[in-house]
Amino acid sequence: MASSVPPSLGALRPSPLVEQAADRLRAQITGGHWPVGTRLPGETTLAKELGVGRSTVREALRALAGAGLVRPRQGAGVFVIATVPDEDWPTRLRRAAVTEVYEVRMAVEVHAARLAAHRRTDEDVTALTAALAARRTAADADDATFVEADLALHRAVVAAAHNPLLASLFADFAPSLRTGLTELLALFPLREADPNTHDDTHAALVLAITEGDGEAAVEALTRELSETLALLGAGHPFGGRPE
């Protein structure tokens, strides 16, 4: 049996109505008014209570389905299947520990390095050589600038793999990596003795990709990333989950 519509729903203000409707319905689900297994009121009823058209309600329900809260059943209606929404990928990344992000980064980037060694073009080699030079120049700058130059070199490695999904994944990781690496350098004085820390492994990586040696590229990158990951794990609290 369908649950009654709570009087607290109320008509919506003119604005992004789909988002408002989805937020209002989500609040009823997460607040426990419609528990798991409940069939929601029909579109016509919800539209009347919210003061919007049925198409707006339909889009709002589609958004809730995308969040894993409801599921339509053919000929039976829309049912609540969860009271806690699924987190999307950006939210999961923001909540993840930097060490967790780094572990996934290793899987993505090491594979990208192997592909890059076999797929790199002359333009990729030029970009990698320039990025390595820029990283060396940034050794005279502050930590934030050096980290940005470091990430730019790694971004060029991934780009040389010519796989848009790998490039997209690396772009997703970049904000967490930027924060974690900058904090790492603030915690451990790695650049005091060696302002261009890990230059040897980065040079070896660029050389391996340039020469088409996938195994050497994997070895150089794995060595560098593993050492950094070990430091990130030791660098509590930012190696743990954010508060």
**How would you write the pLDDT of the chain (243 residues) with one tens digit per residue?**
455 555 566 554 444 788 889 889 999 998 889 999 999 999 999 999 999 999 999 999 988 888 889 999 988 999 999 988 776 677 677 777 778 888 889 999 999 999 999 999 999 999 999 999 999 999 999 999 999 999 999 999 999 999 999 999 999 888 888 888 888 888 888 888 889 999 999 999 999 999 999 999 999 999 999 988 888 776 544 444 443
- CA 222, CA 34: separation in Å to the nearest integer? 50
Residue found under tokens 């990698």: 128
Predicted pLDDT of residue 37: 93
Contacts of 189 (CB under 8 A, 6+ apart): none
Query: Identity (one letter) of the amino acid at 6?
Result: P
Helix axes 143-159, 98-119, angle to 10 degrees: 50
Q: How far apart are CA 209 and CA 109, in angstroms?
A: 13
In whole angstroms, what is the distance from residue 55 CA to residue 61 CA? 10
The C-alpha atoms of residue 240 and residue 99 are separated, in whole angstroms, by 7
Q: How many CB atoms lie within 10 A of CB 110?
A: 17
Report residue 165 as tokens: 């999904």
Closest CA to 151 of 185, 122, 118: 185
Unique residue bearing structure tokens 């130059």: 149
| Inter-residue contact 43 to 55 (CB < 8 Å) | no
> 3-state class of 73 per DSSP?
strand
Looking at residue 162, its pLDDT comes to 97
Q: How many CB atoms lie within 10 A of CB 122?
A: 7
Distance from first CA to last CA of the chain, Å, rounded? Answer: 41
- Residue 231 has what pLDDT? 83
> Which DSSP letter does residue 39 get?
B
Q: Give the contacts of 166 (CB within 8 A, at least 6 positions apart).
A: 108, 111, 112, 115, 158
Backbone angles phi, psi at 80, to 5 degrees: -75, 130
Residue with tokens 């990430």: 151
Phi, psi for residue 45 in degrees, rounded to 5: -65, -45
pTM: 0.63
Beta partners for 70? Answer: 80
